[in-house]
């Protein structure tokens, strides 16, 4: 009689907090409640959050995702994604008689308000962020063309030449690397000591907490897997944070089927987290995939507790 082959032992270091943040949770609820209240189809401009699984689940319920408003039939109902939109988008929606709901994360809206407030003071605005990201496009679109200059790197901060060094301010994308952003801000403050900044840190609590949680597990893990989408800024930053915290192998996976088992080899410890737009069902899926191959012990490491909740739009509340 053949002996049952024993699975090798593995410790899964589970980062906490991980997965959905309050802004993502609110945005998904807005789509689900709109479909429930108004009936399908409800159109959504851009992915409501950067996660394919979430998008496909909402499509099954009756959401139709489009890139631009000209794909939305006149008089239809449309939702703007959690990343925020330029001012021109709601203006276009009104012109086309579209009923719209804005699912922009309130912490992104806060950055929009800050940029407008600083611009109203006659200051030249610098936005620290990544070119082409929907949040950056939305923030730059709050002000007239050319009013916001994008700073992506320390080199950009060193090279920037302002119209007036005494009239300068900065805001940031909410999903950046905390450490990278601090380096860029340090250069700007050194070069322009009077530069104005946000009253409160623009990088959101969820991004900060998830990065701190990865820093806590990465030095103890032989590999770190981040569940998230390639176009998710906060997920990609988690991979970078893991590498910088001393982990030899860090990778982004969208689903359990993306795991490169050969690259993991005979690891004894793996860190696991999820970006702010990745649902917990995908974390459970990855844990189950590890259990099929290893004798798994799960250790959860908590870096912070989150209790933030955001109100729903009045049209859907109650």
Q: Measured between alpha carbons, how far is 23 from 102 in angstroms, rounded to an integer?
A: 12
Beta carbons of 90 and 69 less than 8 angstroms apart: no
Per-residue exposure over 69-98, b if at least 16 CB sit within 10 Å of its own CB, e if not = beebeeebbbbbbbbbbbeebbebbeebeb
In the chain the first and final C-alpha atoms are separated, in Å, by 64
Catalytic residue among 135, 212, 222, 243: 135
Q: Measured between alpha carbons, how far is 103 from 58 in angstroms, rounded to an integer?
A: 14
Two structure tokens written together for 96: 């086309």
Q: Is 135 a catalytic residue?
A: yes
Give the chain as a DSSP string.
-PPPPPPPEEEEEEEES-S--HHHHHHHHHHHHHHHHH-S-EEEES-SSS-HHHHHHHHHHTEEEESSGGGSPTT-EEEE-TT---THHHHHHHHTT-EEEE---HHHHHHHHHHHHHHHTTPEEEEES-TT-HHHHHHHTTS-TTSEEEE-SHHHHHH---S-TTSEEEEE-TTS-HHHHHHHHHHHHHH-TT-B--SS-SS-HHHHHHHHHHHHHGGG-SEEEEES-TT-HHHHHHHHHHHHTT-SEEEEESSGGG--HHHHTT-SEEEEEE-TTS-HHHHHHHHHHHHHHSEEEEEEEES-------PPPTTT--
Instruction: Give me the active site residues, please.
Output: 135
């Amino acid at each position: 009689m053949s002996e049952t082959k024993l699975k090798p032992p593995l410790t899964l270091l589970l980062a906490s907090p991980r997965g959905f943040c309050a802004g993502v949770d609110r945005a998904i609820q807005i789509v689900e409640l709109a479909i429930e209240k108004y009936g399908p189809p409800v159109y959504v401009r851009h992915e409501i959050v950067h996660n394919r699984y979430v998008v496909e689940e909402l499509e099954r319920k009756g959401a139709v995702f489009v890139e631009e408003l000209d794909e939305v039939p006149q008089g239809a109902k449309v939702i703007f994604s959690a990343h925020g939109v330029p001012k021109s988008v709601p203006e276009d929606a009104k012109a086309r008689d579209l009923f719209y709901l804005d699912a922009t994360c309130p912490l992104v809206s806060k950055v929009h308000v800050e940029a407008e407030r600083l611009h109203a003071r006659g200051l030249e605005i610098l936005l620290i962020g990544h070119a082409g990201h929907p949040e950056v496009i939305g923030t730059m679109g709050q002000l007239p063309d050319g009013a916001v200059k994008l700073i992506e790197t320390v080199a950009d901060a060193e090279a920037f030449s302002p119209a007036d060094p005494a009239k300068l301010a900065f805001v940031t994308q909410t999903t950046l690397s905390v450490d990278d952003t601090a380096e860029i801000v340090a250069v700007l403050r050194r070069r322009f000591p009077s530069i104005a900044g946000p009253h409160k840190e623009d990088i959101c609590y969820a991004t900060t907490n998830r990065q701190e949680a990865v820093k806590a597990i990465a030095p103890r893990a032989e590999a770190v897997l981040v569940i998230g989408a390639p176009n998710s800024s906060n997920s990609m930053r988690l991979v970078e944070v893991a590498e910088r915290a001393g982990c030899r192998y860090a990778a982004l996976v969208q689903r359990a089927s993306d795991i490169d088992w050969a690259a993991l080899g005979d690891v004894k410890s793996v860190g696991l987290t999820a970006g702010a737009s990745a649902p917990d069902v995908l974390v459970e899926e990855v844990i189950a995939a590890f259990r099929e191959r290893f004798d798994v012990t799960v250790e959860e490491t908590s870096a912070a507790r989150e209790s933030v909740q955001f109100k729903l739009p009045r049209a859907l509340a109650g």
